[in-house]
């Protein structure tokens, strides 16, 4: 954790610029004094007409309202039909210049000296990208933290697990910062900073900002890239479940678990699930949450359960006692967060005995699907608990079946 008071003076620097795509040259035929001649274009050189252009100090940090950093002056311009604009009255300093419309975005960084006659610069715009990641912070700090992009006006909150997602960032190298305002000390406590190549390989998710100590209490339980062999499908007497591994689709990448829930009767109590053993009794008293991505063939309900086996023969049945919660999903991928506070109170329905009854002796986790639906599951992650063996041995029944 780094405590840092942000300052906003603009240093006078020698003339230079860094475009968002390193190696690309800047230029314009316009000649004006004490100004920045800007050309905005697509990758193929087509002019980007009528684009909003915003000039912000590089020290701008969106969301730091108490320190005044997101109220630093901003200059607004618009390109002409040829994608050109002259940025006038810009004092010496380091800036991020962004061009954007409803569907296109781009930016460049520049160190500008007012005494120079003309500074030429080209900004390339393209379709923006989605960027996601997580911040490793204690829960109390997490609630007041902000995730912003340095020099641009993009900020997002994080959920109860520290997960954040920017829906639409311009492509290029950016600095993503997680911080908390300290109004009493007129400073910012920075909890993490990371460079991300938006639109490139490092901008494809899995960004992590935060205290390295927190990493020990977060891990990926299963991303299904190695298959579904550790998961056991099970169904009631009148039900059937089929489990396989498929490509994610619908905006996600890689492999995901897919299971189909079918019934042979109209009984209300029919059930189907996939479950995975934890390799013994696990004390989850300090669990923060478990998250996963899910979608269904139709709008339906899925359930997540922490099971405690009551005997060795109940591995593939619903006779376990459990604590569970129910969530609505549909055909679009939805991130589900399961925390102890979201679990149903004990009611004995389906063996639900409540969290306090199972939290010290959890032996299995299960995901139930609604009968007559298909369910896809991806990226199960655990927060607030040290890593238990994520590759626990298969049950004796399944191991014997594999030997056959």
Domain ranges for the chain:
11-124, 129-213, 222-403
Cα–Cα separations (whole angstroms), residue 194 to 59, 172, 208, 260, 385: 16, 13, 8, 40, 24
Q: What is the three-class DSSP state of 141?
A: helix
Predicted local distance difference test score (pLDDT) of residue 138:
66
Predicted local distance difference test score (pLDDT) of residue 19:
35
pLDDT tens, residue by residue, 309-342: 776 544 444 457 899 999 999 999 999 999 898 9
Predicted local distance difference test score (pLDDT) of residue 327:
96
pLDDT at 296 over 50: yes
pLDDT band, residue 149 (cuts 50/70/90): very high
Cα–Cα separations (whole angstroms), residue 347 to 159, 344, 352: 29, 8, 6
* CA end-to-end span of the chain: 54
Least confident of 96-100, 116-120, 296-300: 116-120
Q: Are 39 and 121 in contact (CB under 8 A)?
A: yes
For domain 11-124, which CATH number applies: 2.60.40.1120, 3.30.750.24, 2.60.120.10, 3.40.1160.10?
2.60.40.1120
Q: 129-213 and 222-403 share one CATH topology? A: no
Q: Is the pTM of this model over 0.85?
A: no
Least confident of 27-41, 203-217, 266-280, 347-361: 203-217
**367 Cβ neighbours under 8 A, 6+ residues apart:** 273, 274, 275, 292, 294, 302, 303, 304, 305, 375, 377
Q: Are 295 and 368 in contact (CB under 8 A)?
A: no
pLDDT band, residue 190 (cuts 50/70/90): confident
CATH 3.10.129.10 describes domain 222-403: no
Q: Would you give the DSSP letter of residue 178?
A: E
Cα–Cα separations (whole angstroms), residue 5 to 193, 233, 307: 15, 54, 48
**212 Cβ neighbours under 8 A, 6+ residues apart:** 136
CATH code of the domain made up of 129-213:
2.60.40.1120
Distance CA 315, CA 324 (A): 17
Distance CA 214, CA 216 (A): 5
Distance CA 323, CA 342 (A): 10
Distance CA 171, CA 311 (A): 54
Give me the mean pLDDT over the 165-194 stretch. Answer: 84
Strands 2-4 and 187-198, how do they pair? Answer: antiparallel
Predicted local distance difference test score (pLDDT) of residue 32:
43
């Amino acid at each position: 954790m780094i405590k840092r008071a942000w300052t906003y003076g603009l240093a006078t620097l020698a003339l230079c610029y860094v475009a968002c795509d390193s190696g690309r040259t800047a230029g314009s035929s316009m000649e004006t004094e004490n100004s920045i001649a800007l050309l905005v274009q697509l990758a193929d050189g087509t002019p980007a007409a009528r684009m909003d252009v915003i000039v912000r100090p590089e020290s701008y940090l969106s969301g730091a309202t108490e320190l005044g950093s997101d109220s630093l002056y901003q200059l607004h311009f618009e390109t002409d039909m040829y994608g050109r604009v002259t940025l006038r009255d810009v004092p010496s300093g380091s800036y991020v210049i962004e061009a954007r419309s409803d569907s296109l975005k781009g930016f460049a960084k520049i160190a500008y000296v007012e005494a120079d006659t003309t500074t030429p610069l080209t900004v390339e715009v393209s379709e923006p990208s989605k960027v996601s990641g997580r911040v490793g912070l204690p829960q109390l700090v997490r609630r007041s933290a902000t995730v912003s992009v340095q020099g641009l006006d993009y900020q997002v909150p994080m959920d109860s697990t520290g997960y954040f997602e920017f829906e639409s960032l311009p492509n290029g190298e950016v600095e993503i910062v997680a911080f908390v305002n300290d109004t009493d000390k007129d400073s910012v406590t920075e909890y993490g900073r990371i460079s991300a190549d938006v639109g490139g390989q490092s901008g494809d998710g899995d960004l992590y900002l935060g205290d390295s100590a927190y990493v020990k209490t977060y891990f990926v339980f299963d991303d299904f890239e190695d298959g579904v062999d550790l998961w056991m499908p099970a169904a009631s007497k009148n039900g059937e479940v089929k489990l396989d591994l498929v490509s994610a689709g619908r905006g996600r990448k890689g492999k995901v678990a897919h299971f189909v829930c079918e019934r042979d009767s109209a009984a209300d109590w029919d059930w189907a699930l996939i479950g995975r053993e934890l390799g013994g009794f696990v004390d989850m008293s300090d669990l923060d949450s478990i998250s996963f991505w899910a979608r269904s063939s139709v709008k339906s309900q899925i359930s997540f359960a922490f099971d405690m086996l009551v005997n060795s023969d109940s591995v593939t049945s619903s006779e376990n006692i459990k604590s569970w919660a129910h969530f609505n999903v549909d055909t679009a991928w939805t991130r589900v967060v399961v925390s102890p506070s979201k679990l149903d109170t004990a009611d004995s329905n389906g063996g639900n005995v409540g969290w306090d009854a199972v939290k010290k002796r959890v032996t299995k986790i299960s995901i139930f699907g609604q009968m007559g639906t298909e369910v896809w599951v991806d990226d199960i992650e655990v927060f607030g608990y040290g890593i238990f063996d994520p590759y626990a041995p298969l049950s004796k029944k399944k191991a014997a079946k594999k030997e056959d």
